[in-house]
Chains A and B, each alone.
Chain A
Amino acid sequence: MREITYADAIREAMSEEMRRDSRVIFIGEDIGVYGGAFGVSRGMLEEFGETRVRDTPISEAVIVGAAAGAAMTGLRPIAELMFSDFITLAMDQLVNQAAKNRFQFGSQGAIPLVIRTPAGSGTGAAAQHSQSLEAWVCHVPGLKVVIPSTPYDAKGLLKAAVRDNNPVLFFEQKLLYRTKGEVPEPELSEDHIIPLGKADIKRSGHDLTIISYGRMVQESLKAAEKLAGIGIDTEVLDIRTLVPMDRQAVIASAKKTGRVLIVHEAVKTGGFGGEIVSTIADSEAFFYLDAPIKRLCGLDVPIPYNPGLEAGVVPSSAAIYTSALELMEQRQLMQGAT
């Protein structure tokens, strides 16, 4: 299989869906002439023209509001917010309009809308351009929330999101844009749809489960590789779709290994990790736990501008490795001595 970048995978998904379905349009700041702040949409204006690839003024409220309105008229818009931090400015359109419309109008007026937006730290963009705010939108019924960790998933999940009849928040990981991974050839793309709500076992193991999403899946896989070196067989479960969550996959993996570490970049307090913990604790998997469930998350602080501090406030593969060891070393020194 060929290898392409995460950013290329997203562009391919959008372009293919726009070619397939003329109702799909693309709207956002600097997505047309400039090609997107991260170059994701380079060349799309040339292919699809100004009617379908629309640059907007600097107003997130307008982008989301206009896209939601367009969706109600029967179009299937993809909206881009340049940084997910600016979702604050679109919250009313998103939470009170897009998420509620279908419910309040008796299933009429579906909102087939995708909001793509880059998230996460690691680019030296400081506290207002580096956050991971996915937990906010997970709390609003009516929205779906997707965070892919690989180019393969990014393409398949985005195509599924565009075909979904509900508003989907699609968080992209800034630090993953340039990472490469295997993605099926364009001629096979019609089959490359990853249904929303399906988690993915990125690595199978028996000793403990790391549950994660987004960039932290990659860090977890690195840690799992290191853990394998000392004989710890780690399963890495990529949750991929936070809403709807694949509860069965989470429960099955927790039952299988009995030890669970949850990793996300977003701050711990009020983070989505707590939702995963309670999903396990609230299921039959509880009775299979052989250690407390641990969370390794971003520190409860704004992301610092200083690069050293920035790297220090979010989990790394080294920190994941250490946390996994702690989870495994529940035995006392003089094991079994009575």
Chain B
Amino acid sequence: MAEPIIMPKAGMLMHTGTILEWYAAEGVPIRKGDAIAHIETDKATMNLEAEYEGVLLKIVHGPGEIVPVTRPIAWVGDPGEPIPDNHHAISKTPVNLGLTIPLKIVHNEKSSQENYPASRVMSGNLTSQKPADKTIESSPPAEHHFGIYRATPAARRTAAELDITLGEIPPSGRYGQILASDVLHYVNQRHERENFIPMMEEGDSFLPLTSIQKAMGRHLTFGVQTIPYSSCSMDADVTRLVEKREQMIKIGSKVTITSFAAAALAFGLQKNRRFNSQYDRDRLILKGAVNVGIAVNGPQGLVVPVLQHADQLTIEEISSKTAELSKLVHTENISPDLLEGATITLSNLGPYGVTSFIPLINPPQSAILGVSAVREIFLPDPDGKPVLKKIMSLTLSYDHRVGGGAEAALLLAGIREALEQPELLKPQE
């Protein structure tokens, strides 16, 4: 029988994906592993690969459509095979309803009647999945569960009073449900947006934002509005680090300043674990692993891939992994899985000649380290004579709920320590 190709759930925070392009056409045979479509999430774009052979019977959602994760976007099978009526109906549903919040995806695997288990989808390598069991025929009609938003009665009433569609509102409930406060929060934001009337004159034009840029905007707005943040700075004497790097490069290494900074950040976090955490109202979730995000300026906007277990990597490993992640960002092929799990991000504006800046925290992370350009400065030695030093300015923006200035300073001092004494970093094997 015909098998569905579904919108993959490629990360815990992925609720919907946008179809950018279909490489395959209806009626055309496809082979396992073929890239059949290009899709976009909030954080990245990626190719969707076919998982089985057959003919692409029906494309349910075309380019530009936003589809909730785990919903069929196309059907594959033998030529002329029928497609289940109920899921077929999805294609007739207006696109704006496609912003449906996925129901029961992460929390309840038994709900395969409505959705294929998330674990299967997530364990795959971004390819379509077979349904967990033959439940397609017994699924409720698409209209029945499509367009249903999980929202509390209070949220529904508030939304109705304010004449808002629930589908527009990002949920914050534990089960993905929209709360009354989410509606109010959304309205406040919309109010601000609508009060801004663009003045267009001759010669002006619009530059549409990519979905990554829009997501970043929402995300950072949320961060700035909800995180009481502060920042502190230190200068690190990187004279020896620069020498060490030059030596390494002489023998063929491609190690970057960013890699040293990432290693130093992991070193500091590993020593002072308070900021290796996530704020959760009345407690911190202290993370076992030290995962560091690296801000990368990709073609579609800022993307933050994550160096997993950065504290256990040598400087060369960090360097090659960072290069790998950066390449994935630049080729727009990074999986959203690789963008999650960091507690802190490293942002290096040194290559742009920036001498100091205050970075914005990427929620739900607890802090972000801004690293600036290495510059030469005369500093007094113990006898007061000027010595030429290589100096780099470090600025840590941190969530003050996670820790205070003293704790942030401790972390920053740990990072500086590793930058000034690069031999403290995990040696090459």
Q: Scan B278-289; emit 1 where CB is below 8 A from any A CB, else 0.
A: 101110010000
A335 to B154, CA, bound (A): 18
A330-B177, A331-B179, A338-B13 known, 17 other contacts, Cβ within 8 Å: A258-B152, A287-B157, A288-B153, A289-B152, A289-B154, A330-B173, A331-B173, A332-B172, A333-B364, A334-B278, A335-B172, A337-B219, A337-B222, A337-B363, A337-B364, A338-B15, A338-B215
Assess whether A85 is interfacial by the CB under 8 Å rule.
no
Question: Are A336 and B176 within 8 A (Cβ)?
Answer: no
Assess whether B338 is interfacial by the CB under 8 Å rule.
no
Question: Are B218 and A338 within 8 A (Cβ)?
Answer: yes
Q: How far is the CB of A254 from chain B (nearest CB, A)?
A: 10
Instruction: Determine the residue in chain B with the shortest Cβ distance to A231.
Output: B282
Q: Scan B150-189; emit 1 where CB is below 8 A from any A CB, else 0.
A: 0011111100000000000010111111011110010000
Assess whether A1 is interfacial by the CB under 8 Å rule.
no
Assess whether A48 is interfacial by the CB under 8 Å rule.
no
A230 to B172, CA, bound (A): 21
Chain B residues engaging chain A, CB cutoff 8 angstroms: 13, 15, 42, 152-157, 170, 172-177, 179-182, 185, 215, 218-219, 222, 226, 278, 280-282, 285, 363-364
Chain A residues engaging chain B, CB cutoff 8 angstroms: 230, 258, 286-291, 329-338
Question: Are B174 and A288 within 8 A (Cβ)?
Answer: no
Question: Are B280 and A290 within 8 A (Cβ)?
Answer: no
A163 to B13, CA, bound (A): 63
Chain A residues with Cβ below 8 Å from B363 are 334, 336-337
Chain B residues with Cβ below 8 Å from A333 are 278, 280, 285, 364
Neighbour of A332 across the interface among B174, B181, B185, CB < 8 A: B174
Question: Are B174 and A331 within 8 A (Cβ)?
Answer: yes
Neighbour of A290 across the interface among B180, B222, B282, B364, CB < 8 A: B180
Question: Are B13 and A290 within 8 A (Cβ)?
Answer: no
Chain B residues with Cβ below 8 Å from A334 are 13, 278, 363-364
Q: How far is the CB of B280 from chain A (nearest CB, A)?
A: 6
Given A334-B278, A336-B226, A338-B218, A288:B170 Cβ within 8 A: no
A20 to B180, CA, bound (A): 54
Instruction: Determine the residue in chain B with the shortest Cβ distance to A230.
Output: B282
Neighbour of A330 across the interface among B42, B153, B174, B219, CB < 8 A: B174
Chain B residues with Cβ below 8 Å from A289 are 152-154
Q: Which of B175, B281, B285 has the most CB of A within 10 A?
A: B281
Question: Are A287 and B173 within 8 A (Cβ)?
Answer: no
Sort A-B residue pairs by CB-CB distance and give the 5 closest, nearest first.
A287-B157, A290-B154, A338-B170, A334-B364, A332-B174
Question: Are B173 and A336 within 8 A (Cβ)?
Answer: no
Question: Are A332 and B176 within 8 A (Cβ)?
Answer: yes
A323 to B153, CA, bound (A): 21
Neighbour of B219 across the interface among A286, A291, A332, A338, CB < 8 A: A338
Question: Are B42 and A338 within 8 A (Cβ)?
Answer: yes
Chain A residues with Cβ below 8 Å from B42 are 338
Chain A residues with Cβ below 8 Å from B226 are 336
A286 to B152, CA, bound (A): 10
Chain A residues with Cβ below 8 Å from B154 are 258, 287-290
A230 to B282, CA, bound (A): 8
Question: Are A286 and B153 within 8 A (Cβ)?
Answer: yes
User: Can you report 28 A-B residue pairs in the complex whose CB atoms are below 8 A from each other?
Assistant: A287-B157, A288-B153, A288-B157, A289-B152, A290-B152, A290-B153, A290-B155, A290-B181, A291-B152, A329-B174, A330-B173, A330-B174, A330-B179, A331-B172, A331-B174, A331-B179, A332-B172, A332-B174, A333-B285, A334-B13, A334-B364, A335-B172, A336-B182, A336-B226, A336-B363, A337-B13, A337-B363, A338-B219
A269 to B175, CA, bound (A): 27
Given A289-B153, A290-B152, A338-B13, A258:B180 Cβ within 8 A: yes
Question: Are B153 and A287 within 8 A (Cβ)?
Answer: yes
Q: How far is the CB of A34 from chain B (nearest CB, A)?
A: 53
A287 to B174, CA, bound (A): 19
A291 to B154, CA, bound (A): 8
Q: How far is the CB of B14 from chain A (nearest CB, A)?
A: 10
Chain A residues with Cβ below 8 Å from B219 are 337-338
Chain A residues with Cβ below 8 Å from B156 are 287
A290 to B150, CA, bound (A): 12
A290 to B177, CA, bound (A): 10
Question: Are B179 and A290 within 8 A (Cβ)?
Answer: yes
A209 to B172, CA, bound (A): 22
Chain A residues with Cβ below 8 Å from B176 are 332
A240 to B398, CA, bound (A): 51
Q: How far is the CB of B163 from chain A (nearest CB, A)?
A: 15
Q: How far is the CB of A207 from chain B (nearest CB, A)?
A: 12
Instruction: Determine the residue in chain A with the shortest Cβ distance to B181.
Output: A290
Chain B residues with Cβ below 8 Å from A337 are 13, 219, 222, 363-364
Question: Are A336 and B170 within 8 A (Cβ)?
Answer: yes
Q: How far is the CB of B105 from chain A (nearest CB, A)?
A: 13
Chain A residues with Cβ below 8 Å from B175 are 330, 332
Q: How far is the CB of B281 from chain A (nearest CB, A)?
A: 8
Chain A residues with Cβ below 8 Å from B218 are 338
Instruction: Determine the residue in chain A with the shortest Cβ distance to B161.
Output: A287
Q: How far is the CB of A331 from chain B (nearest CB, A)?
A: 5
Chain B residues with Cβ below 8 Å from A332 are 172-176
Q: Which of B15, B156, B179 has the most CB of A within 10 A?
A: B179
Q: How far is the CB of B151 from chain A (nearest CB, A)?
A: 10
A313 to B84, CA, bound (A): 52
Question: Are B153 and A336 within 8 A (Cβ)?
Answer: no
A336 to B224, CA, bound (A): 12
